[in-house]
Amino acid sequence: MSTLRNKVQLIGNLGNDPEIINLESGKTLAKFNIATNESYTNNHGERITDTQWHNVIAWGKTAQIIEKYVSKGKEVAIEGKLTSRSYDDKDGNKRYITEIVCNELLMLSK
């Protein structure tokens, strides 16, 4: 049961082409975002679609697969864990980011 403590599963579409970074250590990093959509009908009978954007990163073999086969608009299912971190921007302001570290990827688009 301990593996269920921090687990994220999403199905969505890539909002842009993945950014691939090859580090000096030889590791590969893929950064991208995906959009998930939820639709509902409001009190006036109007259909509303709510889109949420999620920052995703992947390392190693998963990043290499993303580099070869995944591009903007493609539908993917991902599984990973939620992480948060902070950094200082160029003006010295502290910024916070929440991302999903992807450890499994399923390509759903043809």
How do residues 68-103 score in pLDDT, each as one tens digit? 999 999 999 999 999 999 999 999 999 999 999 999
Please give the Cα distance from 17 to 41 (Å, whole number): 32
**pLDDT score at 30:** 97
Residues 6 or more apart whose CB falls under 8 angstroms from that of 51 comprise 35, 36, 37
- Tell me the CB-side half-sphere exposure of residue 28, using CA atoms within 13 A: 13
Q: How confident is the model at residue 24 (pLDDT cuts 50, 70, 90)?
A: very high
* Alpha-helical runs (H) found in 21-81: 60-69
Please give the Cα distance from 16 to 6 (Å, whole number): 26
Please give the Cα distance from 56 to 67 (Å, whole number): 14
- Domains parsed from the chain with CATH numbers: 8-107 (2.40.50.140)
Closest Cα to residue 109, out of 79, 77, 78, 80? 77
Whole-model pTM over 0.75: yes
